[in-house]
Amino acid sequence: MKQILLMNFKYNSRQELQRALMEMGITPQTFVRNVKGLEWRIGLMNDAAKTAGGTYLFKDEASVEAFLRGEIVEKMRKSKALNDVKTEVFDIISDEMNVTRGSAS
């Protein structure tokens, strides 16, 4: 079953965040090339609250778990530029998708 991962974290400044992500090698291209089972990702940013993160669709639970145990998340959790990294995994309620025009593909 496909799963959604919500990830968010706090940051001090956008410049510091961007520099840290580049130094860690975490870019949109990193996700496309290196995250197995990832079908799509939407990056999120709220400058006023200094919070960022993403919504990720994975093909299955095993892919989400591998990502959460992987190098990208480990680097993010250890970074001094990212604070309070939180993750939450959800199953998709697929029978509601047609009514709400959602897409899990």
pTM of the model: 0.87
pLDDT at 31: 79
Residue 104, domain member (yes or no): no
Q: pLDDT of 35-73, one tens digit each?
A: 999 999 999 999 999 999 999 999 999 999 999 999 999
pLDDT bin (cut points 50, 70, 90) of residue 4 is very high
Domain count, the chain: 1
Mean pLDDT of 80-93: 94
Residue 101, domain member (yes or no): no
CA distance 77 to 8: 11
CATH code assigned at 45:
3.30.70.100
pLDDT at 105: 63
Per the structure, the complete domain to which residue 43 belongs is given by: 3-94
List the 82-91 sheet strands across, edge first.
Answer: 38-46, 51-58, 3-11, 82-91
For the chain, the average pLDDT equals 91
